Amino acid sequence: MTWHSTSEYDEHVINLNGATGPDGKRLAFSPKALLLSGLAGCSGIDVVEILTKMKVPFTKLEIEAESEPVTEHPKVFQDIHIEYKIDAAPEDEDKVKRAVSLSLEKYCGVAAMLRKNSAIVPTITLI
């Protein structure tokens, strides 16, 4: 069964489904995968805004978030690992670290909610 979630504000639709097809691939986002995607998006928006205010030039930012749920119900996430891959100059690495820290610890509401149950472990890779 697939659920369709529609935003009241801009009429976007997100499909959710926990099942897999005959090829073993998910038929749609699982709710937990969507939650990790929301974390990456929320933090990514923050990081871009913070780096822009810091006048840090960069041309690319990729974020990957992953976690494994615990084995017992409710199957909440264990540590959440979030990797920021950014095309920025090595001399700006401290500013990038500061932007990520501000996002995860102060501005990103998704991170604030997830942090109540799971550690969020960031890594930063300059590409």
Q: Which domains does the chain have, with CATH numbers?
A: 31-126 (3.30.300.20)
pLDDT tens digits, 55-71: 999 999 999 999 998 99
What is the band of 53 on the pLDDT scale with cuts at 50, 70, 90?
A: very high
Tell me, what's the pLDDT at 27? Answer: 85
Where b means 16+ CB within 10 Å and e means fewer, 93-102 reads: eebbeebbeb
DSSP states of 67-104: --B-SSSS--BSSEEEEEEEEE-GGGHHHHHHHHHHII
Residues across the chain: 127
Contact 51, 103 (CB under 8 A): no
pTM of the shown model = 0.90
Q: Are strands 58-66 and 3-6 parallel, antiparallel or unpaired?
A: unpaired
Higher pLDDT: 104 or 68? It is: 104
